[in-house]
Amino acid sequence: MGKLDGRVAIVTGASRGIGQAIAELFAAEGAKVVCAARTLKEGDHQLEGSLERTVQNIVSNGGQAIPVTANVSEEDDCMRLVEEASAAFGPVDILVNNAALNYYIPIEDYPASRWMRSFAVNVHGPFMMSKAALPAMIERKGGAIINISSGAGIGPGRGPYPGARVTGGTMYGASKAALERFTQGLAQGLAQEVYEHGITVAAFSPSQVVPTPGTVFHHLVDGLDDPKGEPPLMMARAALLLASEPLDKVTGRVTYSQQILQEFGWITNGKGTGIDRPGSGFSQI
């Protein structure tokens, strides 16, 4: 028995890093996972990782998954992604908006086209994906939309990375702040938007920088095994918690991975180096 047995999930940005970890854990917990990204095959992108690899990892471990290439900044792709997910596995129960884009460029040098493109992925994408997935969730009176945010969204000097100063992060922080406001508005806004339909909407950020091919490339961590970083599985655990716990306990939350895991007793120590949840196939990070 898994936490997500029989449920259908879409995870965007599932070709590597946090998205890959979420997709693989969701599948291990019984979900049928639609892995979405732009990178289908290894070598299609300069960074390591691909949808084919993620899906193969899931299938090799007895799970169910399919790859769907999609650009979440395009509405047609968002609609097609939900349609292909429904055709393959049935109506979507869980949407994880994880895909993100940033260019670490100072504002005075930031090309407007890249600013617009980043906002299209980081903010417009989750809106369009949610809009596409919501009708089936509303019809079935249940579901979950989980948005992956960042400590950058609350501004310099107040996040979970004391002393960190990354030049060129203004756009990323602004887009994540917008994503968090979208999350709270959808969950608790006028007429509480989707609450009356039993749909969880929540967002969370890593409590520390997560070592991924992207954060290594941008020199935010020293490598994939950087001991100062938060393992991607920690983020996957937090996503699983928000997608599976009762609506009234989690909807509308904008939180951090280790904070929510500790609150619900899914984490065994304050440093976040171990997970020990009864019934889980993953006892340690």
The answer to whether 171 and 115 have CB atoms below 8 angstroms apart is yes
- The yes-or-no verdict on residue 28 having pLDDT over 70 is yes
- The yes-or-no verdict on residue 37 having pLDDT over 60 is yes
The domain in which residue 110 lies consists of: 8-263
Residue 270 within any structural domain of the chain: no
Most confident of 90-99, 196-205, 270-279: 90-99
The answer to whether 48 and 17 have CB atoms below 8 angstroms apart is no
Give residue 209's pLDDT band: very low, low, confident or very high (50, 70, 90).
confident
- For residue 68, give both structure tokens: 């769907």
Residue 133 within any structural domain of the chain: yes
Q: Which residues contact 227 (CB under 8 A, 6 or more apart)?
A: none
Give strand pairing partners of 199. 143
Residue 1 within any structural domain of the chain: no
Give residue 280's pLDDT band: very low, low, confident or very high (50, 70, 90).
very low
Number of domains composing the chain: 1
pTM: 0.88
CA distance 160 to 60: 36
Among residues 172, 175, 195, 205, the one annotated as catalytic is 172
104 flagged as catalytic: no
Q: How far is CA 181 from the centre of its chain?
A: 16
More confident residue, 47 or 80: 80
Among residues 73, 149, 205, 207, the one annotated as catalytic is 149
| Of 42-46, 203-207, 236-240, 274-278, minimum mean pLDDT range | 274-278
**Backbone dihedral angles phi then psi of residue 257, each to the nearest 5 degrees:** -55, -55
pLDDT tens by residue, 74-102: 999 999 999 999 999 999 999 999 999 98
The pLDDT, as a whole number, for residue 178 is 92
172 flagged as catalytic: yes
More confident residue, 158 or 213: 213
Give residue 157's pLDDT band: very low, low, confident or very high (50, 70, 90).
very low
Residue 278 within any structural domain of the chain: no
CATH number assigned to the domain comprising residue 161: 3.40.50.720
Mean pLDDT score of the chain, rounded to an integer?
87
Among residues 32, 73, 161, 176, the one annotated as catalytic is 176
- Reference 154, options 178, 138, 127; nearest CA is 178
176 flagged as catalytic: yes
Residue 135 within any structural domain of the chain: yes
CA distance 48 to 79: 27
Residue 280 within any structural domain of the chain: no
Residue 274 within any structural domain of the chain: no
Residue 80 within any structural domain of the chain: yes
SS3 readout for the chain: CCCCCCCEEEEECCCCHHHHHHHHHHHHCCCEEEEEECCCCCCCCCCCCCHHHHHHHHHHCCCEEEEEECCCCCHHHHHHHHHHHHHHHCCCCEEEECCCCCCCCCHHHCCHHHHHHHHHHHHHHHHHHHHHHHHHHHHHCCEEEEEECCHHHHCCCCCCCCCCCCCCCHHHHHHHHHHHHHHHHHHHCHHHCCHHHCEEEEEEECCCCCCCHHHHHCCCCCCCCCCCCCCHHHHHHHHHHHHHCCHHHHCCCEEEHHHHHHHCCCCCCCCCCECCCCCCCCCEC
- Reference 185, options 199, 173, 198, 201; nearest CA is 201
- The yes-or-no verdict on residue 158 having pLDDT over 60 is no
